[in-house]
Chains A and B, each alone.
Chain A
Amino acid sequence: MSKSRNTVAKDNATQAIVIADTFEDEFVPISNDVPLCLFRVVNRPLIDYTLEFLSLGGIEETFLFCCNHVAAVKAHIKKSIDEAVGWTLTMKVHIIVSESCWSFGDCLRDLDAKGLLRGDFVLLEPGVISNIQLLPLLKKHSEVFQLDKGAAMTLIYQESSIGHMALCPQDETIIAYNSKNRVLFHKKTQKTKEKRVTFPLEIFIENSSVSVRHNLKDTHIAICSPAVLPLFSDNFDFQTKDDFVKGLLINEDILGSTIYCQILKGSNYGSAISNWRMYQAVSLELNNKWVYPIVPTVKRNRTLPENSALMLQLEKIVIGPNCIIKKGAKVTAGSILGKGVVINEDILITNVLIQSTKSDDILAQPIDKIGEFAYRLRACEDEEDLDLDKLLANKLSRLHIGDDLYEYDGDSDDEFSDSSEELSHTYSPPPDDTKLFFTEVVDSLTRGYEDKLLCDNLILEVNSSRYAYNITLKEVNYNVIKAILTLSQNLPNGTQYFPQLSQLLSYFSPILKNYIKNEAAMADCLQAIEDIAISNTELKDKWVIFLLKYLYEKDFLSEEAILKWFSNVKQDSKLYNQVEPFANWLQEAEEEDSSDDESE
């Protein structure tokens, strides 16, 4: 069978590229363990929807470009092929691995070097779910190409409207195109945070009719000419598709390439899960059948054994595949049975969660064993239901899903931009320049530390990078501290850790002194420590308190700054528990100080 599948890839097979990884840190920390393309969306891995869409859309050969968690993705694709899932018959999937790619642009440059693509192809950004027919779009693109040899890319947009949940503020775009659907102007409004949009006058002078639209949803699908990959290679500063579009529009004359767009209407649907807000929106739309015929699987015609004493309220019971419920057993509302659970005779199951394998959790009590293939799961140890709800609500409330999801109105613009300014480093992905700046700082510092360069020179280097990327002072402070702490991740764990870290810090102390100059800088420094501590368990579990003490003793941080920062740390976090003794000690010291002052 695999042989016959090989023959599917003819010379003129329609091809698609799927980039599997998002290079932004929106989904951290979950994406540290699970790659984005295996995220479960309404009970199925995201990549399944993407591949099914490509197959139904008429694609015959797909290149899946993976950078992280390659083994997991490969295993998943292999499993799908073994199980002969729908798309495997009509479409061939190649997994391309490159662990050296750090951006969307890198991936495409890598693909260009490999020279796998033969003609026009479909390019998908990470996380696309759609139901559109791709062949007509490809045909349209090649028709356009006949008339305009410079046509490089057709962007696919879906008509939506302002206030729609899936119209993500981070993707908000204004585009202008002429009667031939050629894109003349393209701007992502959110990234620039400007309230005014300036259109160049030429676009109106040079074209007899121009449409300006602000109600379009980017589907993150693009039809590309073969020229796209070389263009990415020639312009190594293109990191994302937006860079590409921007670069092509600005340098239209030099690069000699143009961009077109297609606007989907009716039941054509396309979206990409690019952040948590879109995850929620797409899940909801999948459930509401907007992506028909791609719908969440519903199990039908489940037959139950005769004479079984099931309390049949199936709406409120979830029974996984291959479950066996023996005679006399009762399962009542609110119960969830996992895959392969066996419920023995004469057992009453009420309102519990059961799985077939023993939980790895040490907390699981022997009493939780109900049968050989039935273990009761407790969502949380010895807690009343009420507390559980509260805990869950608390956890969910920290899952930030975009902003003003339901109460969007035009007047709230001001508040909105304020709040996003304040919280920018916590939920919106930092603009790319900042990220580049950060990697550059890490590079300089690593080199400096290894070659024992003078810190003054390093400061010069950092400052020049700062101007190169136009970074604000606030972000410089934050990123420099973050970079220094990032270096500490390479240190050995265990008791050796802190001595090494303090050595590192003392080496960089001139740099610290240079950047941590005032209260605001201290706040940035502490924020950086907090962010690093979340991902670095070694630091979080043991050493954060020592780190703070060290910085306090060396006078980099003042006690007011630390206490102020500490008051904002979430009370139930591990970090809070770690830092609490130190904060208390500071508090007492301060009180003593003040009482000393009074006595004087």
Chain B
Amino acid sequence: MKQTDDLSDVIKLISDIKHKNIQSSHDVAIRTEKMLDNIISQGKWDSALELMELIKQRIKCFSQSLPDEPTASNIMKHILKVIRTECQSMSKKTGDTHSLHQIVTGDATHELDYSETVSNLKSVLLGYLSEYKEELESSAENIAAQASEHIHSNETILTVGRSRTVERFLKSASKQRMFSVIVVEGAPSYLGHSMASALTKNNIQTTVIPDSAVFAMMSRVNKVIIGTHTVLANGGLRALSGIYVVALAAKHYSIPVMVLSHMYKLTSLYVGSNDHETFNVHASPASVIPYSSGSILNSVNIKNPVFDYVPPELVTLFITHQGGNVPSYIYRLLSEMYHPDDYDM
């Protein structure tokens, strides 16, 4: 009972996500930040090691219950890395500096002793968290602010389904430029429809096309701009189903594919095999074939995958709040965000 008492905050978060009280990944991020704030300010820990253990337990609990929702785990892993670096910099102040050799080889003999009690660690971490919170809140804005660098006048932009980040990006561009948008409706959820209506309200010229028309329309498109669910460690995407087709069509016509992503969507996970059951989430087949179809359902197994795997070579550029990055640079961002010891959990 004691252990579950400890984890009640993360279980509450999980249950809120499952009950759909929190829906967008941004809200999950804010909640996670709040939770971490609580742990750091009120949790029972004396040393960095204990704090890290508390956070690790939560990551485990979360990734077991909601393996398809990486945002919360990513933020917690990032904070783990921050704890490590803060400890390191504090010990550096007191002790000797590392030699270049040690930094390059990551010599384990100089492993820090995290179990020491560090007096001002709490205030430093809380300071960082409030900074991080601001970063989270301004992230979408920062991404949108780069819009005019990427969208030029009279261009035709293609996007798929609905993404708040993309919507904001396009709206921001529309303040300075005239361009038209083609929205792929994204069956079977058809979220593209609501995206299109949101864009037209901002006087952006918008066309909705069915998923089947993607290849035909692609030749007139100047840029593909999409959101994603997750950015994988190799620079690939786990994105709404249908995006793989769009990316392939774009490749055929050599049209750049830009992916808007918050930093917390970057995971340290690789794809074992993308056709494996565990990579994808399968939603109810009811949106593909109605339950009232009769005896055919007895003998057919219908899959309705939610995600597509898009390999890194189909992505031209990632746009985060820090600017644009190519897929091959993701490994670098990864090591900035997370500590290698936390990649696998």
**Cα-based distance from A301 to B268 in the complex (angstroms):** 12
Which single residue of chain B is at the shortest CB-CB distance from A303? B344
Bitwise, B15-30 to A at CB < 8 A (1) or not (0) is 1001100000000000
B277 CB-CB contact with A under 8 Å: yes
Which single residue of chain B is at the shortest CB-CB distance from A302? B278
A164 CB-CB contact with B under 8 Å: yes
The segment from A285-293, A323-331, A496-504 found at the interface with B is: A285-293
The listed residue (B4, B5, B292, B304) touching A83 by CB distance below 8 A is B4
B8 CB-CB contact with A under 8 Å: yes
Given A1-B8, A164-B297, A298-B277: A293 and B291 interface contact (C-beta under 8 Å): no
**Cα-based distance from A215 to B294 in the complex (angstroms):** 9
**Cα-based distance from A161 to B295 in the complex (angstroms):** 8
B287 CB-CB contact with A under 8 Å: yes
> Whole-angstrom distance from the CB of B70 to the nearest CB of chain A?
11
Would you call B297 and A165 a contact (CB within 8 A)? yes
**Cα-based distance from A162 to B295 in the complex (angstroms):** 7
Bitwise, A1-14 to B at CB < 8 A (1) or not (0) is 10000000000000
A160 CB-CB contact with B under 8 Å: yes
The listed residue (A131, A215, A290) touching B292 by CB distance below 8 A is A215
Q: Chain B contacts of A86 at CB under 8 A?
A: 11, 14-15, 18, 65
Given A266-B286, A300-B67, A303-B344: A289 and B15 interface contact (C-beta under 8 Å): no
Which residues between 276 and 312 of chain B lie within 8 Å of chain A, taking CB atoms?
277-278, 282-287, 290-295, 297-299, 301-304
> Whole-angstrom distance from the CB of B44 to the nearest CB of chain A?
16
**Cα-based distance from A163 to B287 in the complex (angstroms):** 20
**Cα-based distance from A90 to B18 in the complex (angstroms):** 11
> Whole-angstrom distance from the CB of B80 to the nearest CB of chain A?
18
Would you call B8 and A84 a contact (CB within 8 A)? yes
> Whole-angstrom distance from the CB of A345 to the nearest CB of chain B?
24
Q: Chain B contacts of A291 at CB under 8 A?
A: 284
Bitwise, B56-94 to A at CB < 8 A (1) or not (0) is 000000010101000000000000000000000000000
**Cα-based distance from A131 to B284 in the complex (angstroms):** 10
B110 CB-CB contact with A under 8 Å: no
Bitwise, A274-305 to B at CB < 8 A (1) or not (0) is 00000000000000111111010011110100
Would you call A162 and B4 a contact (CB within 8 A)? no
Q: Chain B contacts of A267 at CB under 8 A?
A: 283-284, 286-287
Would you call A164 and B298 a contact (CB within 8 A)? yes
Which single residue of chain A is at the shortest CB-CB distance from B14? A86
A455 CB-CB contact with B under 8 Å: no
Q: Chain B contacts of A405 at CB under 8 A?
A: 298
**Cα-based distance from A330 to B285 in the complex (angstroms):** 39
Q: Chain B contacts of A83 at CB under 8 A?
A: 4
Number of interface residues of A (CB under 8 A): 40
A218 CB-CB contact with B under 8 Å: no
Would you call A1 and B18 a contact (CB within 8 A)? no
Number of interface residues of B (CB under 8 A): 37
Task: Tell me what chain A mostly uses at the interface: helix, strand, loop, or mixed.
Answer: loop
The listed residue (B67, B299, B302, B344) touching A406 by CB distance below 8 A is B299
B100 CB-CB contact with A under 8 Å: no
**Cα-based distance from A263 to B63 in the complex (angstroms):** 36
A444 CB-CB contact with B under 8 Å: no
Given A56-B19, A84-B11: A269 and B65 interface contact (C-beta under 8 Å): no
Which single residue of chain A is at the shortest CB-CB distance from B11? A84
Would you call B278 and A300 a contact (CB within 8 A)? yes
A415 CB-CB contact with B under 8 Å: no
Bitwise, A154-181 to B at CB < 8 A (1) or not (0) is 0000111111110000000000000000
A102 CB-CB contact with B under 8 Å: no
Q: Chain B contacts of A215 at CB under 8 A?
A: 292
Would you call A84 and B4 a contact (CB within 8 A)? yes
Q: Chain A contacts of B19 at CB under 8 A?
A: 55-56, 58, 90
Would you call B292 and A159 a contact (CB within 8 A)? yes
Which single residue of chain A is at the shortest CB-CB distance from B5? A1
Which residues between 401 and 455 of chain A lie within 8 Å of chain B, taking CB atoms?
405-406, 408
Given A1-B5, A406-B299: A292 and B11 interface contact (C-beta under 8 Å): no
A89 CB-CB contact with B under 8 Å: yes
Q: Chain B contacts of A408 at CB under 8 A?
A: 295
A384 CB-CB contact with B under 8 Å: no
Which single residue of chain A is at the shortest CB-CB distance from B304? A289
Would you call B295 and A164 a contact (CB within 8 A)? yes
**Cα-based distance from A267 to B277 in the complex (angstroms):** 21
* Interface set of B (CB-CB < 8 Å, partner A): 1, 4-5, 7-8, 11-12, 14-15, 18-19, 63, 65, 67, 269, 277-278, 282-287, 290-295, 297-299, 301-304, 344
